[in-house]
Amino acid sequence: MDNANPNTAVATQEPEQAYFALTSRIPEEAWYWAAVGSIGASAVLKLAGKDHWALFVGQWPPTFLLFGLYHRIARPGQ
């Protein structure tokens, strides 16, 4: 017997639809350039002696790349 709430499927689709509504307007290359830019910003911060900020900004590239990869793989209608 399945006790799953039928509203659960709808609730889990809403964040994904919101994500694609936001990211569909962003060119695919923007994710990669954001990653490269954050690597450069991290290097500049490190050279400026702001080690904590450099580490913080240096952790952004994987996030940008994962957003781009997820958008490419799971994009509806493509």
Task: Specify if 51 maps to a domain.
Answer: yes
The two three-digit tokens of residue 14, written as one number: 């809403």
Q: Is residue 1 part of a domain?
A: no
Percentages (nearest 5) of helix, strand, coil residues in the chain: 80, 0, 20
In a domain, 24, yes or no: yes
Instruction: Please give the pLDDT value at position 1.
Output: 46
Please give the angle made by the CA atoms of 42, 26 and 76, to the nearest 5 degrees: 125
Specify if 26 maps to a domain.
Answer: yes
Rounded distance between C-alpha atoms, residue 28 and residue 78, angstroms: 13
Residue numbers of the domain that contains 47: 6-74
Q: pLDDT tens digits, residue range 15-58?
A: 878 877 877 788 888 999 999 999 999 999 999 999 999 999 99
Q: How much is the pTM?
A: 0.69
Q: Total structural domains in the chain?
A: 1
- Domain-embedded: residue 49: yes
From CA 4, how far away is CA 10, in angstroms rounded?
12
